[in-house]
Amino acid sequence: MEKGKRPNAPPKKGMGGKKPTDTTDPVKNFERWKKKYDKTKTRVKQEKRQKRKPEWLVEKESIQRLVNKYNEINAQDAVKFSDFPISKNTLRGLMEAQYRQPTEIQRQTIGFALQGKDVLGAAKTGSGKTLAFLIPVLECLYRQQWTAMDGLGALIISPTRELAYQTFEMLRKVGKNHEFSAGLIIGGKDLKNESEKIHRTNIIICTPGRLLHHMDGTAAFHISDLQMLVLDEADRILDMGFADTINAIVENLPKTRQTLLFSATQTKSVKDLARLSLKDPEYVWVHEKAKFSTPATLEQNYVVCELHQKVNLLFSFIRSHLQKKVIVFFASCKEVQYLFRVFCRLRPGVPILALHGKQQQMKRVEVYNDFIKRKNAVLFATDIAARGLDFPAVNWVLQFDCPEDANTYIHRVGRTARYKEGGEALLVLLPSEEQGMLSQLQEKKVPIDRIQVNPDKLTSVQQKLEAFLAQETEQKERAQRCFVSYLRSVYLMKNKDVFDVFRLRLQEYAASLGLAVAPRVRFLSKAQKQRVDPRKISEQVVGPQSDEEEEAELNRFKAQLRGEGPSVNAQSSQSSEEEEEEEEAEEDDEEEEDEEELQPGPKCTILVLEMRWHRFSVALTLHVHPGQVVQQWPPLQRTAVPQPEEDHTPGINVEEARERLRREDQEFDKLEYRRKVKEKHRVRPRHNFTKSPGEAEEVEPYIEVDSGEEFDPSTLPDPDKLHNDSEEDNQSSDSSSCSDEEEEEAVGSRKRPRRQAASLPLDTGLSLAEDEELVMHLLGNRS
């Protein structure tokens, strides 16, 4: 090895060594290729973007293609929703919500509504009217590319909160792929929150009263750009007394709008509303020529049952259908409240829910959602659940109380057998209701058959109800309110051929509710008297026409104290026609009055009447000669000092006024006060209560004038005797201190027994000499 050379050193270039291989680096090669590819891709995208149309223009062209197909719509050929010229967003929402094939009302309505025509639609309950107007609403706003900045575009009015809530939930499912804003405007929600968001809402689903409130009181709420108005269940809206509200709303809406009006029945009031709000409408009556007005898959029966057996029938029915989903309809909220509580305590073996108008809005929504989710349950409800609500998989509809008319019956049974599904309905009738109700159902083309119930198979729950009421006073009061509320609902029904409250066995019905005695029903007793002798009520209103006027007047006054005499409310409630037209708010007021009657009160004895007589001090009759003053009002003030001659000096002489008031207080006021105290002691209850030896003596809330001694008139001051200033001052200070003590005793007598005033020396913290100097100084200043 040569010196200075490194071992294994590579040969240098140009010195006889080999040339190294020229291989490329793959990483660098990929980076160069990627850079060139990105440049080419960016250039191609820019070229395509320049050639491509804007998205808004593409969407506008697709909308125009849909509009061009509107005139080619053939309702008879439409088998699926995709056969209609509907936007992709709406079709995707329908498919995700499992709506694929349109019903008959949807097939005939969607075409006219897409063409911009007014529609008056009528179909059976459960035929899919809600989706028939939601699809046109979405398409109308989609055609015009409506945004939140445009404000209100579509207005949907429902009769009840529950129906509005159901429509809102369906709109959320079907229209979730659109970018419209929707709002639920109903009572029971935060009014301030609604007012802040209502001006940015595109679709509003509301009840009439709440909408009119916002139209009158919300400054940011504008409806000048409204495109579509929908009236759902129009007949129900008018039946609930919203005719004036709807007219006021329609008058403020723009005239260029499109209107869709849907109803289960076509009545005269609905046609009148259509003439006012629709322009050249298309009439869609799907089942006008149908043989029956109820779904063909609905099996309908009725049973005749006595009134006192209805509760047992209901309990036996529930026990026989534990694996079914049942809705039971009642006539009043009080019935639902009472029977729901007692049936929960009876434990029939199936969940029981209650839905009525007295509940708060959030509670009603909670019950609604709970009943939808359950596979087997029983829902006690009033007629607020009879219109438009879609409860899935309802097996039975039991009408515990007879419906008002055939239309109400149709809406009730429409909660089952929906969308070509099967269902059963049972109507419970009283013997007095059978003939009149069946004639109405026949006129409305309702097929119904009678079935018999074996009385031996009924389970009696009367004894258990009596035990519940004996244990809880609150349950007893609910039972009494239930009794009165049912009678009122029957009494206020218009069709007297079906509903006759005087043919009901009230005592037996009260016993079936667990009551030992039937409560007194004031309006029923008055109606009974008027029915027997109509002239008797008028004579009571005018007054007794007898010779002994004073005695008759006294008897009438005592009767009024007992709550039996005629009053203004009684006179105004004698007309049955006016009572039938009362709204729900007035009925609630009457229910509260009846609840007050049910509360136990003190027994009205002669002694109580005498005390009330002295308390009121009412002069009933005064026989005087013509021209004689009966009573001076306001009464003249008695004075102890003769009135001085008129003095023209301005102002008031304070010293004279003070002297006059002091004399009047001594001579008149205190004597009158003592006389009233003695009179109050004299009319106290004359019976003595037996007290246990260890019981503390009860303190009477009367003011004691002296310390238990007899009142001595000689102690009164002589009004003619003159007193010096010091005596007057001492006397006035004594009287003021006495009155203060009496006031303290009067206030504290209700809390603790009265104690004898202890004569304790006044401790001023000074010595005796200092006290004497202080007294002399004060007396010297006063002189």
Which comes out higher in pLDDT, residue 580 or 140?
140
DSSP label of 669: I
Which comes out higher in pLDDT, residue 522 or 696?
522
Which comes out higher in pLDDT, residue 244 or 266?
244
Residue 164 to residue 94: CA distance in whole angstroms: 20
Q: How confident is the model at residue 155 (pLDDT cuts 50, 70, 90)?
A: very high
Residue 149 to residue 168: CA distance in whole angstroms: 21
Q: Are strands 377-381 and 352-355 parallel, antiparallel or unpaired?
A: parallel
Q: Are strands 449-450 and 298-304 parallel, antiparallel or unpaired?
A: parallel
Alpha-helix residue ranges (DSSP H) falling in 599-682: 606-616, 654-664, 670-682
Residue 163 to residue 130: CA distance in whole angstroms: 10
| pLDDT in the model for residue 636 | 56
| pLDDT in the model for residue 418 | 78
Residue type for 56, please?
A: W
CA atoms within 13 A on the CB side of 297: 17
Residue type for 207, please?
A: T
| Cα–Cα distances in angstroms (integers) from residue 732 to residues 642, 669, 670, 727, in the given order | 21, 14, 13, 8
Q: What angle do CA 703, 709, 710 make, to 5 degrees?
A: 95
Residue whose C-alpha is closest to residue 281's, from 302, 257, 301? 257
Phi, psi of 205 (to 5 degrees): -115, 120
Residue 84 to residue 306: CA distance in whole angstroms: 54
Residue whose C-alpha is closest to residue 214's, from 202, 238, 198, 232? 198
Q: How confident is the model at residue 114 (pLDDT cuts 50, 70, 90)?
A: very high
Residue type for 71, please?
A: N
- Window from 125-129, 340-344, 734-738 with minimum mean pLDDT: 734-738
pTM of the model: 0.59
- Window from 293-302, 379-388, 428-437, 687-696 with minimum mean pLDDT: 687-696
- Cis preceding-peptide flag for 54 (omega within 30 of 0): no
Q: What angle do CA 480, 486, 489 make, to 5 degrees?
A: 140
Helix axes 88-96, 161-174, angle to 10 degrees: 110
Residue whose C-alpha is closest to residue 464's, from 353, 378, 347? 347
Centre a 10 Å sphere on the Cβ of residue 214 and count the other Cβ atoms it contains: 19
Number of H helices, E strands in the chain: 30, 14
Residue 468 to residue 281: CA distance in whole angstroms: 58
What digits encode the pLDDT tens for the residues 708-763? 444 455 555 555 554 444 444 444 444 444 444 444 444 444 444 444 444 455 66
Centre a 10 Å sphere on the Cβ of residue 638 and count the other Cβ atoms it contains: 10
Residue whose C-alpha is closest to residue 504's, from 477, 534, 476, 484? 484
Q: Are strands 325-329 and 377-381 parallel, antiparallel or unpaired?
A: parallel
What digits encode the pLDDT tens for the residues 456-478? 889 999 999 999 999 999 999 99
| pLDDT in the model for residue 314 | 96
| Domain range list for the chain | 59-285, 298-463
First-to-last C-alpha distance (Å) of the chain: 149
| pLDDT in the model for residue 389 | 82
| pLDDT in the model for residue 551 | 63
89, 382 Cβ separation under 8 angstroms: no
| Cα–Cα distances in angstroms (integers) from residue 391 to residues 107, 301, 412, 601, 659, in the given order | 23, 21, 12, 46, 85
Residue 480 to residue 482: CA distance in whole angstroms: 5
- Window from 131-145, 347-361, 370-384, 634-648 with minimum mean pLDDT: 634-648
pLDDT reading at 127 higher than 70: yes
Q: Please report where in the chains the tokens 């509907």 appear, as a residue.
A: 86
Cα 663 to the center of its chain, rounded Å: 61
DSSP label of 150: G
Sheet containing 154-157: order of strands: 182-185, 203-206, 154-157, 228-231, 258-263, 119-122, 282-285
Q: Is CATH 3.40.50.2300 what the domain over 59-285 is classified as, yes or no?
A: no
Which comes out higher in pLDDT, residue 273 or 490?
490
Output the DSSP codes for 503-556.
GS-HHHHHHHTT-SSPPP-HHHHHHHHHHH-HHHHHHHHH---SS-HHHHHHHH
Over range 423-444, report the average pLDDT.
Answer: 94
> Percent of the chain scored above 70 by pLDDT?
70
| pLDDT in the model for residue 750 | 46
| pLDDT in the model for residue 511 | 95
Centre a 10 Å sphere on the Cβ of residue 324 and count the other Cβ atoms it contains: 18
Domain 59-285 matches domain 298-463 at the CATH topology level: yes
| pLDDT in the model for residue 585 | 41
Q: What angle do CA 121, 124, 127 make, to 5 degrees?
A: 85
- Residue 344 tokens read as 């929960």
Q: Please report where in the chains the tokens 């899935």 appear, as a residue.
A: 392
Centre a 10 Å sphere on the Cβ of residue 376 and count the other Cβ atoms it contains: 15
- Residue 392 tokens read as 């899935």
Output the DSSP codes for 371-384.
HHH-SSEEEEE-GG
- Residue 364 tokens read as 């009603």
Q: Are strands 203-206 and 282-285 parallel, antiparallel or unpaired?
A: unpaired
Residue 449 to residue 583: CA distance in whole angstroms: 34
Q: Please report where in the chains the tokens 């029903």 appear, as a residue.
A: 521
Residue 543 to residue 553: CA distance in whole angstroms: 9
Classify domain 298-463 at the CATH superfamily level.
P-loop containing nucleotide triphosphate hydrolases (3.40.50.300)
Residue whose C-alpha is closest to residue 460's, from 315, 595, 581, 334? 315
Residue 202 to residue 196: CA distance in whole angstroms: 14
293, 446 Cβ separation under 8 angstroms: yes
Residue whose C-alpha is closest to residue 175's, from 91, 70, 79, 59? 91
Centre a 10 Å sphere on the Cβ of residue 255 and count the other Cβ atoms it contains: 5
DSSP label of 574: -
| pLDDT in the model for residue 779 | 80
